[in-house]
Structure 1
Amino acid sequence: MHGVKRVKHTPEQLAAKKVKEQAKIAEYVALSDEVLAKKAANDWSLEAFELTTRMLQINPEFYTVWNYRRNILLKGIFPASSPAEINDRLTDDLNMTTAALKIHPKVYWIWNHRRWCLENVPDGPSPDDVNGWRKKNWDREMFVVDKMLDADSRNFHAWSYRRYVLAGMPVSRPETAELAYTKRKIEANFSNFSAWHQRTKLLASLWASGKLDYAKSKEDEFELVRDAMYTDPNDQSVWIYHRWLMGEGDDARVLEREIGIVQELLDEQPDSKWCMESLVYYKRMQLRKHAEAVDAERLTEECRHLLRELVLLDPARRARYEEIEKQL
């Protein structure tokens, strides 16, 4: 790496390092063999459980061991435990995976085990508080996932898990609060595709339920995405969201307006591939949806011109652009 001084090791140091690495490998293989042998023997003991902990701390992608660990809990530990003890055990596992995620934030099997833990939290602790343990654990998950997204706002595993937690919380979080959260993440980084995607899910739900004024909020979204387009016209996630907002292009007025805005941006950024692609996409939409109200010959020629410019700008996708031109 640049700027990092290379340390020259002596032959003795290299030999010692090799011995140490070989010892670690031998230790790992022995542990793996022991865990798998206990699994094959249907060993549901606490000793086996603790071995899985050691194994997963070394290799959290060993999904077979995660499955074995859950079977130990279900078949060996839970049957002999009270609800409070089960809750404590699952809380320990959630804490263990929180520590693991700090080192391995994109390992699917860790996130998957957290889901399993949440789904197995017992009701309690008293008849007057039937969701006490469950609510506490699920509420804590929102805190954990917030922290994970603070560390990496584009971690799609964390965003997927966030949607899972929101859907499963015993006391629902208002969708408008989540909408505000995605806006904060987007304004912090317009390239956050996962936040844009989360926003599509929320808006679709809010519009379908009538909880959000469709016309006004959609105009607000156009303003938000327009700011993003002008900030970074080469960001794919912004253009994908813009197309989602446009939908099927049934509103001729909005379609014409957005084409004009994209054209203005292209005039400022003449080498913007996404501006060109979007203009072709929306002009073709005009030809399909509003042919009687537009100059079809002019639009077709404009699309051809843009596609030929795209071939020069983006030769790797030449065949795609030429195929679109044939369809005009």
Structure 2
Amino acid sequence: MSYIEEFSWDDITPIPQNDGGNDAIAPIAYDDDYRIAMEYLRAVMKIEEFSERSLKLTEDVILMNAAHYTVWQYRTRILFALDKDLEQELVWVEFVGQKFPKNYQIWNHREVIVNKLDNPIRELPFIEVMLEIDTKNYHVWSYRQWLVRRFDLWATEVPYTTIMIEQDVRNNSAWNHRFFAIFGRKEVPSDEVVSDEIEFTKAAILKAPQNTSAWNYLTGVMKKSGRPLSDLESFCLTLSNPSSGFKTQDLDITSARSLEVLADIYAEKQDIPKASLAWTLLAEKYDTVRENYWNHRKSQATAKILGAF
């Protein structure tokens, strides 16, 4: 353990973990190295020691348990108290981040450090490295959103998500971030931007008609921009058999999600026969897992119409 090898600890009395003594029902069997490190950590935290040896101790503990959020918080306090080189801290955090890519405390710590530095120059390249490891890492995407807001980096985001979606059209995290990039800023997107997004998403849907992520994005854009879902009717019909006029169950449906949207469109138009047909197809053939839900939607719409008379 490097913190023991580099520094003297003769003046520190380790504080053991209190699991209830002999009455403990199921004490945690910690690894000896971790147990000893935590005993020293409790001792220095008790006296609020901000020193090089305490800093090194936090490093060792984190590398043994990166999810220990109290250690991260204490490390931050030490760094600021000693006026340490925060750029070097970012380098170390990059190492830890790649070692523990699913850990969210790392990103909370990095946010504090970058906010203190008031400089995001290292961040987007590092984020891209982390997203190459896992393109759907929620903590990395969340950190990216904070970074974009904090440093007004909006210009990079739509082009970046375009690349990510072209690589994997089903990357729901990239779709979610794209929605943030379009609607997350203070400025309302122009009609041209919204129209471009709709066409971009339609093209992506045609590549993978069952892709829920793209459909959610498309309907989300319509609702957020105040455009009626009915504008999507002709597009949705291209994913069924338009020659039938959507009147019979003899349809060649290539996307259950298009059927869902059509049902919502026809329900909004009060065209209950067509909406009911869509719900029936979903319940009986194209989305049988949610059969009860679609039958419920159909009965609700029918009851609403009957209640109007």
TM over 0.5: yes
Which residue in 1 is equivalent to 2:205? 229
Stretch moving more, 278-287 or 52-61: 278-287
Alpha-carbon offset, residue 163 of structure 1: 1.5
* Distance in 1 (alpha carbons) for counterparts of 2:206 and 2:89: 46
Unaligned 5+ runs, structure 2: 1-29, 302-309
Closer, same or farther in 2 for the Cα pair 1:107/1:148, shift >3 Å?
A: same
- Return closer, same or farther for 1:30/1:252 CA change in 2, 3 Å cut-off: closer
Call closer, same or farther: CA 1:297–1:113 in 2, change over 3 Å.
Answer: closer
Deviation at 1:119, TM superposition (A): 1.9
Match of 1:125 in 2: none
Label 1:188 to 1:67 Cα distance change in 2 as closer, same or farther (>3 A): same
Deviation at 1:278, TM superposition (A): 4.0
Give 1:260 shift: 1.5
- CA distance in structure 1 between the aligned counterparts of 2:91 and 2:229, rounded to whole angstroms: 54
Give the secondary structure class of the aligned counterpart of 1:120. Answer: helix
Residue 307 of structure 1 contacts residue 325 of structure 1 at CA under 8 Å; is this kept in 2?
no
- On the 8 A contact 2:51/2:82 being kept in 1, the answer is yes
Aligned match of 2:295: 322
Q: Tell me if the contact between 2:263 and 2:274 (Cα under 8 Å) persists in the aligned partners.
A: yes
CA distance in 1, matches of 2:70, 2:176: 32
1:150 corresponds in structure 2 to 132
Structure 2 Cα separation of the partners of residues 107 and 237 of structure 1: 25
Distance 1:116 1:237 in 2: 32
Structure 1's 31 and 252: CA in aligned 2 closer, same or farther, altered over 3 A? closer
Matched, 1:103 2:99: yes
For the residues of structure 1 that align with 2:229 and 2:47, how far apart are their CA atoms? 68
Q: Give 1:108 deviation, angstroms.
A: 0.3
Percent of pairs identical after alignment?
Answer: 25
Partners of 1:234 and 1:250 in 2: CA distance: 23
Q: CA deviation at 1:302?
A: 1.2
2:255 matches 1:263: no
SS in 2 for 1:263: coil
Q: Check the 8 A contact 1:280/1:306 in 2, yes or no.
A: no
Cα deviation for residue 271 of structure 1 reads 7.3
- Please tell me whether residue 39 in structure 1 is matched to residue 45 in structure 2: yes
Q: Which ranges of 4 or more aligned residues in structure 1 deviate by more than 6 Å?
A: none
Partner of 1:217: 193
Q: Residue 237 of structure 1: CA displacement?
A: 1.1
When structure 1 is superposed on structure 2, of 158-167 and 243-252 the one drifting more is 243-252
Structure 2 residue 50 is the aligned partner of structure 1 residue 70: no
Q: 1:193 to 1:48 in 2, by over 3 A?
A: same
The equivalent residue for 1:245 is 221
Structure 1 residue 115: Cα displacement: 0.5
CA positional deviation for 1:213 = 4.3
Q: Deviations over 1:267-300 (max 9, x none)?
A: 9x9676xx33442343333322x33xxxx24313
Aligned residues: 266
The yes-or-no answer on 1:298 pairing with 2:294 is no
Deviation of 1:176 after TM superposition, in Å, equals: 3.9
Alpha-carbon distance change, 271 to 141 in structure 1, aligned in 2, over 3 angstroms? same
Is the Cα–Cα contact under 8 Å of residues 35 and 52 in structure 1 kept in the other structure? Answer: yes
5+ residue gaps in structure 1? 1-23, 79-85, 122-133
State the shift of 1:52 in Å.
0.5
Equivalent pair of 2:282/2:291 in contact (CA under 8 Å): no
In the superposition, relative to structure 1, how do residues 279 and 53 fare at CA in structure 2: closer, same or farther (>3 Å)? Answer: same
CA RMSD of aligned residues (A): 3.0
**TM-score, normalising length: structure 1:** 0.71
State the shift of 1:29 in Å.
1.0
| Cα distance in 2, alignment partners of residues 158 and 95 from structure 1 | 16
